[in-house]
Amino acid sequence: MSRTLVLAANWKMNKGPAATGEFLDPFLASIGSQAGACEVIVAPPFVSLPAAAAKLAGSGVALAAQNASQFDSGAYTGEISVGMLQELGVKHVILGHSERRSIYGETDEVINAKIKKVLDAGLHPIFCIGETLEEREGGKLETVLRTQVRDGLVGVSEEGLLNSVLAYEPVWAIGTGVTASPAQAQEAHAFVRSLLADLYSDEVAQKVRIQYGGSVKPGNSAELMAQPDIDGALVGGASLDPKDFQALIANALA
């Protein structure tokens, strides 16, 4: 089964509108036609979305948000709705990131509501899952992933799943410089795909793209991307430098 690779940049709370332009000018010039050979997505902070949308128009690189509210509108101070994101040209929304889970207390139930809200609007969730080091060392890897996948996808149709990308991000590898070995990552990805096969069907599971995330860098990405169940990367730190992010795309296509 050939799945189009998907490389996404999660800038987290980095790069305001000016810095977004400073990144995108050289980045877009350097990637040329590569954005057609794989899917490339950039997720700036909310305030930089308009600047990014203006630069990305016609480039083949898609715009993502790093979060969205599960509500449509109203008294939710500080929140941003899916409709507002849509108005800015956002196509993908990162949901369930471990920083949202651990720092902001987002539960599987909240993440599930957000996933459904994003899908209902015709946008594409990038649904993040992953275990902490304590959970892995305690032998709970499979239980944690099973719960996150099952509860995050409650009520999500087969079509909804196919409009989503999953991102396996072991929490212990995010921003730490420690990456999962290609074998560890492949094993987890194959397990996640087996969960999707149980919940939907093997045919559907084979079509779903599962990105790896966690200290992906130009020096370690080729081996990770070569694993049969790894379909791209969700990249934090190394996506902040246009040369590094371009190198990750080049490695994925090599």
| Footprint on this chain of ligand PEP (rule: CB under 6 A) | 10, 169, 174-175, 213-216, 234-238
| CB of 13 or CB of 18, closer to ligand PEP | 13
Q: At closest approach, how far in Å is the CB of 179 from ligand PEP? A: 8
What are the contacts of 178-181 at 24+ separation with CB within 8 A? 178/214, 178/215, 179/214, 179/215, 179/216, 179/217, 179/220, 179/224, 180/212, 180/214, 180/224
Tell me whether residue 189 is one of the annotated catalytic residues.
Answer: no
Q: How far is the CB of 97 from ligand PEP (least distance, A)?
A: 6
Q: For this structure, is 22 an active site residue?
A: no
Closest approach, Cβ 101 to ligand PEP, in A, equals 12
- Residue of 92, 97, 124, 189 marked catalytic: 97
Closest CB to ligand PEP among residues 80, 224: 224
H or E, element range at 215? none
Dist. CA 208–CA 191, nearest whole Å: 13
Name the residue with the smallest CB distance to ligand PEP: 236
Closer residue to ligand PEP, CB minimum distance, 200 or 230: 230
State the minimum distance, in angstroms, from the CB of residue 223 to ligand PEP: 16
User: Which residue in this structure is represented by tokens 């790069």?
Assistant: 15
Q: Which residues contact 132 (CB under 8 A, 6 or more apart)?
A: 171, 172
What backbone phi and psi angles, to 5 degrees, belong to 4?
A: -70, 130
Strands (E), the chain: 6-10, 39-43, 61-65, 92-95, 124-129, 165-168, 209-213, 232-235
Query: Which residue lies nearer to ligand PEP by CB, 199 or 222?
Result: 222
Please, which residue, 152 or 236, has the CB nearer to ligand PEP? Answer: 236
Check: CB of residue 108 under 8 Å from CB of residue 153: no
Of 210, 242, 240, the C-alpha closest to 3 is: 210
Residue 211 CA to chain centroid, in angstroms?
A: 7
Give the shortest CB-209-to-ligand PEP separation in angstroms: 15
Which of 124, 131, 169, 189 is flagged as catalytic?
A: 169
Q: Which residues are part of the catalytic machinery?
A: 97, 169
